[in-house]
């Protein structure tokens, strides 16, 4: 025979905050006279009329039939008499019972269940204790009563009757068809004073917080359990109540009293920080409770229809539902008290509570049964164990914890360990690999460990436990002809670093592995040949977009295929070397390491030891260094530096909400946020975004550039110094997203663009090229003879179509992308040297702010325009999208020309004087064509890799005008970007941008007005000009740049 869950509603009196003007309360609940029916008006305004028969014509009313409804006039003893008294008697008869209080925060649950502090036995718990004690006093049978009191805070269950210093997380488990809290302490109950003291002690340890809806809001579910043992006169299995084995036959039952934490809407409670996380945990646990009730009702519905399939009830999804599995759907007698606010402002919460109560009323528990068993009498509670043995156990635990802190988290873990490093041998395409970790849950993506020569994947598997612990999926491939991967038909692949990027070589294999794992890029860890391959990939125009960071142990990198190609690496690099290794010479590699260090700055890390036998070169030492390099946190617990104090919500003595910053932190409480600290760069970027959205950033940058020592400029300077350093080597899609300047959509589009142009040629049949030799013409490339220094270009000159032989070297000087002259400041930061003595210092706070602002302006262009062009595969639209990106960059620079009225006049604004500083010029400056072009050049060059464009700094043969030019890859269509002439057009027409992305076929076809006011033919001179006394260099060709039949 099943028993129903009984449900009751209790309406509390209105609170002061719910009473509006003129002491008026807008009420939303009403009780049907003489019936256990509750009505809830869902909307304010006109009242809902209920007819005599209980019906209504309004759609704004919900009615619920329960087992009882108590209004504000009903005292707790009346509630107890109707709800709990029958359950207490059931417990004395040997049947388990449960009482739950459910409702929104501040609705009176704790008041109903536990009463108010200082009042004697006024809550349901206190009244139940009085009834149990009265029965024990009046009964002829021996009755023992013990009490346990625990709380469920988040996912942790702790004992409220144990001092915080000795509290441990308890486990909820099912034993002998009954749910138990293992390790829960119990105290004997002999007087009413005992229950009052016990409740006071437990409530003092219970998690509470003050918030907008409740000044003492419970942040945990409290569960107080009465364990009642009644000595039986007979045992079902044995007529003797006592036996010779020291046991006694007892009729055992428990009364579980549950004060649930209140559900809350964050917008109403106004919580934040720790309280917000607590609210989320509470709401999640209540959500699981609601799901359990729904599943029970669904299962009962299928039984009613004769369906035999058993639906799973998700008790195990939450500690709360696990603890209540006897009360809901089990063999317990259960009653629910739904506590309600009468205020209209909480109508939606009240409606949700009533719906839950109505659902619980449909739940049918199993038939109640009397539990009689033979057990040893439990020893009475004796407090904390203070014996010498307990002290020894505690000391041993402390030592064990200290030893653990001095061990790496993956110490003793072997590759393939099912729990810590799962995986093993697997084939990815034709490549045999050792694959470890879960590709679906690895937060840091893919790490590919490349073996040396001669060797195989097994030689790199020792790193797998560390990398998997750090959050990577680890792939250790056997290269063709090594290990278990068969050789290619042509034999083994080349093992020299300059062969790494050959077609079908190691770089292509790594690219295929990443593609098979659905990863756009990954981390490369290599030894010897594998390390050389990693460096070669990071320097290759075809493969560099695949590389996030590199770990190189004894890299076999003999030479650069292209001069200074290591200076093009953008990925962060860790070089590891044992100097006594006889096969790898550090002095030979040192010049290459210097190039990496010069290029990457803080992105370059070097780890060297004298001998391979040193402890610093052990596998554990190297794995620790590698994980610290990749994650930024030392994985050794004892060495971890907590850089940020934990901040928790707390209450002051007068009840004021405060934030408590803890100066003492226990190791067990250390979180990743405390180890990483506040990301100052990301925080500064967030502030910059907010200023831009408020249209205040331009004025702030102007203040920083020209306001001297004003307080506003000083404040802006402090803010800007926290911004990240951005230049062509550090600007990557992933970094811009991490800084909060870009969305995930913009990052995805940029990475797709990089993959789209990777390895595409710059010189191919049909490409339009500028022809050197002073003929000022544009032609189409037909063929190239590099050894013979000859190229054939089809050109229409003086009305004739001819195939023109030109010098290949001279053709490259005019058409190959430019590298601007760079020096270093005293701190080692890059400084661009530009025209008329101008310079761009990338360590300048002002330039950092302007580069971040430009990156922010590019975000929508990538997220929408470039992404859309890539989706449809339209190269012309892709070129136009990058033209819009150049215009977006220009829109963030407040620089104008000396010309006035469209070039008819000239003048100077002394407030715009920039002192040759590009950053100040960009913030609020003016100049002629040279300074305008030099001002925009650092921004165009910094974002050139991201935009997949090849920039040029141009001047005409008469040196009367300067402008910029760029080609878009992969089409290699050339555009003129003339800041000065575009500004003149803006002064005349009010329109800006048409001359920032003008095709060269148009720009170089007719004479234009130069900065001196005269007319000249716009066409760049054959040889790159000098900037700041230094020659602008043409970038060296990459191996994939020329693709001729």
872-912 per-position pLDDT tens digit: 999 999 999 999 999 999 999 999 888 776 566 777 777 78
Q: What is residue 290's three-state secondary structure?
A: helix
The more confidently predicted of residues 149 and 397 is: 149
Residue 242 has pLDDT above 90, yes or no: no
Count Cα atoms within 13 angstroms, Cβ side, for 788.
8
Q: What is the pLDDT of residue 248?
A: 65
Please, which pLDDT band fits residue 236 given cuts at 50, 70 and 90?
Answer: very low
Q: What is the pLDDT of residue 520?
A: 85
Mean pLDDT throughout 471-480? 95
Please give the structure tokens belonging to residue 338: 């739904």
Element (H, E) at 136: helix 124-138
Element (H, E) at 850: helix 845-860
Residue 662 has pLDDT above 50, yes or no: no
Residue 381 has pLDDT above 50, yes or no: no
Count Cα atoms within 13 angstroms, Cβ side, for 175.
6
3-state helix, strand, coil in the chain (%, to 5): 35, 25, 40
Q: What is the pLDDT of residue 375?
A: 52
Q: What is the pLDDT of residue 779?
A: 92
CA distance 1026 to 1023: 10
Please give the structure tokens belonging to residue 271: 């919580």
CA torsion sign, 1004 to 1010 to 1013 to 1017?
A: negative
977 φ/ψ sector (left φ>0, alpha ψ -120 to 50, else beta): beta
CA torsion sign, 228 to 231 to 234 to 236?
A: positive
786-808 per-position pLDDT tens digit: 999 999 999 887 778 889 999 99
The more confidently predicted of residues 946 and 602 is: 946
DSSP 696: -
Alpha helix ranges (H) inside 333-436 = 347-361, 388-405
- Pairing relation of β-strands 790-797 and 800-806? antiparallel
Q: Calculate Rg over the CA atoms of the chain.
A: 38
Mean pLDDT throughout 540-564? 86
Alpha helix ranges (H) inside 677-743 = 680-693, 697-706, 711-721, 733-738
In the beta sheet, which residues pair with residue 69?
9
Residue 289 has pLDDT above 70, yes or no: yes
Q: What is the pLDDT of residue 286?
A: 87
How much of the chain, in percent, has pLDDT values that exceed 70?
A: 85
In the beta sheet, which residues pair with residue 804?
793
Residue 610 has pLDDT above 60, yes or no: yes
489-527 per-position pLDDT tens digit: 887 788 888 889 888 899 999 999 999 998 889 999 999
Most confident region among 100-114, 126-140, 213-227, 851-865 by mean pLDDT: 851-865
What mean pLDDT value characterizes the chain?
84
**pTM score of the predicted model:** 0.57
Prior bond to 126 cis, omega within 30?
Answer: no
Q: What is the pLDDT of residue 426?
A: 94
Q: What is the pLDDT of residue 335?
A: 93
Q: What is the pLDDT of residue 994?
A: 86
Residues 886/996, Cβ–Cβ less than 8 Å: yes
CB burial of residue 303 (10 Å; 0-12, 13-18, 19+): middle
Mean pLDDT throughout 358-386? 65
Q: What is the pLDDT of residue 339?
A: 93
Element (H, E) at 330: none
Mean pLDDT throughout 842-858? 93
Q: What is the pLDDT of residue 1037?
A: 87
Give the DSSP letter string of 201-233: HHHHHS-EEEETTEEEEE-SEEEEEEEEEEE-S
CA 588 to chain centre: 42
CA distance 113 to 149: 13
Q: What is the pLDDT of residue 1018?
A: 85
Please give the structure tokens belonging to residue 660: 């408590």
CA distance 966 to 974: 6
126-140, 617-631, 646-660, 924-938: which range is least confident on average? 646-660
Residues contacting 375, CB < 8 A, separation 6+: 247, 248, 250, 252
Mean pLDDT throughout 693-707? 84
Please give the structure tokens belonging to residue 1038: 């990459």
CA 828-833-838 angle, 5° bins: 115
Mean pLDDT throughout 648-677? 54
CA 1010-1011-1012 angle, 5° bins: 90
Q: What is residue 898's three-state secondary structure?
A: coil
Element (H, E) at 117: none
Number of H helices, E strands in the chain: 30, 52
Q: What is residue 570's three-state secondary structure?
A: coil
Please, which pLDDT band fits residue 227 given cuts at 50, 70 and 90?
Answer: very high
306-320, 413-427, 663-677: which range is least confident on average? 663-677
Please give the structure tokens belonging to residue 611: 């001998």
Q: What is the pLDDT of residue 380?
A: 42
Please, which pLDDT band fits residue 656 given cuts at 50, 70 and 90?
Answer: low
CA distance 5 to 80: 16
Please give the structure tokens belonging to residue 966: 């760029």
Most confident region among 451-460, 1007-1016, 1021-1030 by mean pLDDT: 451-460
From the list 922, 949, 764, 948, the residue with the least C-alpha distance to 844 is 922
The more confidently predicted of residues 615 and 176 is: 615
Q: HEC profile for 20-72?
A: EHHHECCECEEECCCCCEEEEECCCCCCCCCCCCCCCCCCCEEEEECCEEECC
């Amino acid at each position: 025979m099943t028993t129903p869950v009984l449900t009751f509603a209790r309406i509390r009196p209105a609170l002061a905050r719910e009473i509006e003007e003129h002491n008026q309360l807008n009420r939303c609940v009403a009780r049907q006279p003489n019936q256990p029916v509750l009505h809830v008006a869902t909307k304010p305004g006109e009242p809902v009329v209920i007819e005599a028969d209980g019906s209504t014509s309004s759609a704004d009313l919900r009615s619920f039939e329960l087992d009882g409804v108590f209004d504000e006039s009903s005292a707790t003893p009346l509630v107890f008499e109707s709800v709990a008294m029958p359950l207490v008697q059931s417990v004395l008869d040997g049947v388990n019972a449960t009482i739950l209080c459910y409702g929104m925060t501040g609705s009176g649950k704790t008041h109903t269940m536990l009463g108010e502090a200082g009042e004697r036995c006024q809550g349901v718990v206190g009244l139940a204790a009085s009834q149990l004690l009265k029965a024990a006093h009046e009964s002829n049978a021996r009755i023992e009563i013990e009490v346990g009191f625990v709380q469920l805070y988040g996912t942790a269950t702790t004992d409220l009757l144990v001092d915080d210093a000795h509290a441990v997380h308890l486990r909820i488990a099912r034993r002998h068809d009954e749910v138990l809290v293992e390790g829960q302490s119990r105290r004997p109950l002999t007087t009413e004073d005992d229950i009052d003291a016990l409740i006071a002690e437990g409530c003092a340890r219970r998690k509470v917080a003050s918030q907008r809806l409740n000044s003492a809001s419970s942040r945990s579910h409290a569960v107080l359990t009465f364990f009642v043992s009644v000595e039986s006169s007979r045992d079902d299995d044995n007529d003797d109540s006592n036996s010779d084995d020291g046991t006694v036959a007892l009729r055992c039952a428990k009364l579980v009293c549950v004060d649930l934490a209140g559900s809350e809407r964050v917008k109403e409670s106004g919580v934040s920080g720790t309280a917000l996380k607590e609210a989320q945990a509470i709401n999640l646990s209540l959500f699981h409770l609601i799901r359990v009730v729904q599943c029970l009702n669904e299962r009962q519905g299928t039984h009613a229809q004769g369906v035999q399939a058993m639906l799973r009830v998700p008790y195990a999804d939450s500690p709360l539902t696990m603890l209540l599995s006897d009360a809901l759907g089990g063999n317990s007698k259960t009653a629910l008290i739904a506590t309600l606010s009468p205020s209209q402002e909480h109508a939606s919460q009240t409606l949700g509570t009533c719906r839950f109560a109505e659902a619980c009323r449909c739940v049918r528990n199993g038939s109640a049964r009397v539990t009689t068993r033979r057990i040893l009498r439990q020893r009475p509670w004796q407090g904390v164990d203070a014996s010498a043995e307990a002290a020894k156990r505690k000391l041993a635990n402390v030592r064990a914890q200290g030893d653990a802190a001095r061990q790496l988290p993956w110490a003793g873990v072997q590759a393939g360990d099912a729990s810590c490093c799962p995986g093993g041998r697997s084939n990815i395409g034709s490549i045999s690999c050792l694959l470890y970790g879960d590709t679906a849950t690895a937060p840091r993506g893919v790490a590919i460990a490349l073996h040396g020569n001669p060797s195989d994947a097994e030689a790199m598997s020792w790193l797998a436990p560390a990398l998997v612990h750090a959050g990577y999926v680890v792939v250790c491939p056997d290269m063709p002809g090594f290990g278990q991967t068969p050789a290619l038909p042509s034999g083994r692949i080349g093992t020299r670093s300059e062969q790494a990027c050959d077609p079908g070589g190691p770089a292509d294999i790594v690219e295929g592995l990443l593609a098979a794992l659905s990863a756009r890029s990954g981390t490369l860890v290599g030894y010897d040949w594998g390390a050389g391959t990693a460096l070669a990939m990071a320097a290759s125009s075809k493969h560099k977009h695949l590389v996030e960071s590199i770990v190189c142990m004894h890299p076999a990198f003999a030479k650069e295929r292209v001069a200074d190609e290591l200076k093009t690496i953008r990925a962060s690099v860790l070089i590891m070397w044992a100097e006594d290794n006889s096969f790898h010479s550090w002095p030979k590699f040192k010049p290459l390491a210097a190039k990496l260090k010069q290029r990457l700055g803080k992105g370059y890390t070097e780890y060297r030891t004298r001998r391979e036998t040193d402890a610093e070169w052990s596998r554990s030492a190297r794995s620790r260094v590698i994980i610290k390099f990749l994650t930024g946190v030392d994985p050794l617990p004892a060495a971890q530096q907590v850089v940020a104090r934990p901040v928790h919500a707390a209450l002051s003595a007068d009840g004021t909400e405060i934030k408590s910053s803890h100066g003492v932190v226990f190791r067990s409480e250390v979180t990743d946020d405390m180890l990483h600290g506040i990301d100052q760069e990301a925080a500064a970027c967030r502030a910059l975004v907010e200023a831009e959205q408020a249209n205040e950033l331009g004025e702030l940058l102007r203040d920083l550039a020209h306001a001297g020592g004003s307080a506003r400029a000083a404040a802006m300077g402090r803010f800007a110094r926290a911004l990240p350093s951005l230049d062509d080597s550090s600007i990557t899609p992933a970094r811009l997203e991490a800084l909060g300047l870009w969305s995930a959509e913009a990052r995805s589009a940029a990475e797709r663009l990089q993959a789209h142009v990777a390895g595409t040629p710059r010189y191919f049949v049909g490409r339009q090229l500028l022809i050197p030799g002073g003929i000022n013409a544009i032609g189409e490339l037909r063929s190239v003879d590099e050894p013979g220094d000859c190229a054939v270009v089809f050109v229409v000159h003086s009305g004739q179509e001819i195939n023109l032989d030109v010098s290949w070297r001279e053709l490259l000087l005019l058409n190959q992308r430019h590298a601007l002259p760079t020096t270093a400041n005293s701190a080692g930061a890059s400084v661009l040297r530009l025209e008329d003595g101008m310079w761009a210092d990338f360590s300048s706070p002002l330039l950092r702010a302007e580069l971040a602002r430009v990156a922010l302006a590019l975000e929508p262009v990538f997220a929408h325009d470039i992404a859309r062009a890539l989706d449809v595969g339209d190269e012309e639209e892709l070129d136009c999208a990058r033209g819009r990106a150049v215009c977006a960059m220009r829109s963030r620079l407040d620089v104008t020309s000396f010309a006035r009225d469209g070039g008819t006049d000239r003048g100077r604004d002394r407030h715009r004087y920039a002192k040759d500083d590009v950053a100040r010029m960009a913030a609020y400056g003016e100049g002629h064509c040279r300074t305008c072009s030099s001002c925009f050049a650092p921004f165009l060059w910094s974002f050139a890799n991201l935009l997949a464009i090849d920039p040029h700094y141009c001047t005409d043969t008469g040196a009367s005008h300067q402008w910029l030019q760029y080609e878009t890859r992969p089409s290699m269509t050339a555009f003129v970007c003339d800041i000065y002439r575009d500004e003149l057009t803006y002064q005349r027409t009010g329109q800006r941008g048409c001359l920032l992305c003008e095709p060269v076929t148009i720009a170089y076809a007719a004479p234009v007005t130069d900065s001196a006011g005269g007319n000249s033919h716009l066409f760049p001179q054959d040889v790159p000009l000098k900037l700041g006394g230094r020659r602008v260099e043409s970038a060296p060709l990459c191996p994939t740049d020329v693709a001729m039949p």
